[in-house]
Structure 1
Amino acid sequence: MSKPDTGRGRISLTFAGLLFAAGILFVWGIDFAIRSTNTLEFCTSCHTMQTNFEEYQASLHFKNPSGVKATCADCHVPKPLGPKLLTKLIAAKDVYHEIVGTIDTPEKFEARRWHLANMVWDRMRANDSRECRSCHDFDDMDLSEQGRSARSRHAAARDKGQTCIDCHRGVVHHEPDDPGDTAAVNADAS
């Protein structure tokens, strides 16, 4: 004798289908959010980022002989998914500080710039300048094509286990003055 159809099988399949569809929508939503927040337009939409945007436009990462442009996300957002999601969560605090007024004016941003820059530099040291190395890896450099000074410094940096940010702070954005550096403070006062 066969068992009567109670409809449970159909409900389970319907629930599984809905769960599957919800999962796809969730993944699509996360992907959309990441892609949207990785654009140059999004990164520079806060008016306090205009100074950073102007510095970037004056750099070789914006305009150079090869025509290759690195955008904010290329330098500040990791490619692997786990670190990318963590970076996006941490970056949400910048949006929060813009909204609550901690960095909502160029003056307030400049007052916190040393602190903000150090957070980026510390992260870059911790991950061996991972985002820089997507384009500038020691193993891909032809040191013989570099100038004498760059060639010797890059060779020494590789031998010492240094990372890009150890020497290349202020490449795209102006390096902020250390608030504890009295020489820089006195120079600004003159």
Structure 2
Amino acid sequence: MGAVVGFIAFGLLQWGMARTNALPFCVSCHSMTFPYAEYKQSPHYRNPSGARAECSDCHVPHDKDFDGWVDKLTAKVLAAKDVYHEILGSIDSREKFEAKRWVMANRVWDKMKRRDSAECRHCHAWDAMLFAEQDRLASRRHRRAMEEGETCIDCHKGIAHEEPEEPEEPEKP
């Protein structure tokens, strides 16, 4: 009996994690309408290849091992703060959202840096890049970044959302 209950509980957890990865869930809060509009103008939404990265592609770990599953679950638990702030009304208007954008963006950038832009690398790989088909500047910068061990987020902040202006006296992220 315990195994059946455990199996059902695990199935429900997996279902919930998959459901909360879906774009409609991500943008269901009023506060997410602002970043969603920005994302729809980005190359991650519309591009010549027709490939589309959604919220969970960039904001949720993709690792397949047990540690990756724990990282994914941790990301979901930490994302609950966004729902909390939505309910509190602390980011429910453009003005309130913009006031916190720098701190929120830095929190995401710091996580991406710590993970060596693993979410980016789920789709983008140095060894798959055709440097000769990139424009000269991009090709040169990508080669240098690869040689120097830089990570995607070192250069690509603001790729899917507007990059916030640094406040004169930034809050601690």
TM-score, normalised by the number of residues in structure 1: 0.83
Amino acid at match of 2:81: K
Partner residue of 2:98 out of 105, 110, 113: 110
The number of equivalent residue pairs is 164
Equivalent in the alignment of 2:20? 37
Identity %: 49
d(CA) in 2 for partners of 1:160, 1:39: 35
Deviation at 1:38, TM superposition (A): 0.5
d(CA) in 2 for partners of 1:104, 1:54: 15
d(CA) in 2 for partners of 1:61, 1:39: 15
Partner residue of 1:161 out of 149, 153, 156: 149
Equivalent in the alignment of 2:128? 140
Amino acid at match of 1:82: V
Deviation at 1:93, TM superposition (A): 1.0
Whether 2:162 is the aligned partner of 1:174: answer yes
Pick 1 or 2: higher relative contact order, CA cutoff 8 A, min separation 6.
2
d(CA) in 2 for partners of 1:92, 1:140: 35
Equivalent in the alignment of 2:78? 90
Higher helix content, 1 or 2: 1
Deviation at 1:170, TM superposition (A): 0.8
Structure 1: gaps (5+ residues): 1-17, 182-190
d(CA) in 1 for partners of 2:168, 2:148: 28
Whether 2:116 is the aligned partner of 1:128: answer yes
Secondary structure class of the residue paired with 1:33: helix
Query: Per-residue CA shift, 1:156-178, capped at 9, x if unaligned?
Result: 11111111011001111000110
Output the aligned Cα RMSD.
1.1
Query: Per-residue CA shift, 1:127-167, capped at 9, x if unaligned?
Result: 00001011111122121221111111001111111110110
Deviation at 1:101, TM superposition (A): 2.0
Deviation at 1:41, TM superposition (A): 0.5
d(CA) in 2 for partners of 1:119, 1:137: 24
d(CA) in 2 for partners of 1:137, 1:86: 25
TM-score, normalised by the number of residues in structure 2: 0.91
Secondary structure class of the residue paired with 2:157: coil
Amino acid at match of 1:96: Y
d(CA) in 2 for partners of 1:115, 1:164: 20
Query: Per-residue CA shift, 1:29-72, capped at 9, x if unaligned?
Result: 11111111111101101111111111111111111111111110
